[in-house]
Amino acid sequence: MSISSLEWTAAAACRNGHREVFFPPAHLEHREERSAREELAKRICKDCPVRLECLDQAVSNREIHGIWGGLNEEERRRLTR
């Protein structure tokens, strides 16, 4: 992957952090915690100007963790079926 293909990340709404919102914690995460965390992440993604680029990158790389382009792992799997 070339560096230029990641230029979109400069415009990402999450570029200033929030990793803990987009990815699961190291400890066991209960369903309610996960739902609340993912809801927060999706709210950030909703108005992100590079949402499609982000989603495309995640699908292309078969990212198995986290919220990318406003979708979680299961939602991305469903999208590609």
Q: Is 12 in the site for ligand SF4 (CB under 6 A)?
A: yes
Compare residues 19 and 28 and give the one whose CB is closer to ligand SF4: 19
Per the CB < 8 A criterion, the answer to whether 35 and 50 are in contact is no
Q: Is 71 in the site for ligand SF4 (CB under 6 A)?
A: no
Q: Is 40 in the site for ligand SF4 (CB under 6 A)?
A: no
Cβ neighbour number for residue 7 with a 10 Å cutoff: 11
Per the CB < 8 A criterion, the answer to whether 79 and 59 are in contact is yes
Torsions phi, psi of 62, nearest 5? 50, 50
Q: Is 37 in the site for ligand SF4 (CB under 6 A)?
A: no
Contact residues: ligand SF4, CB under 6 A: 12-14, 22, 44-45, 48, 50-51, 54, 67-70
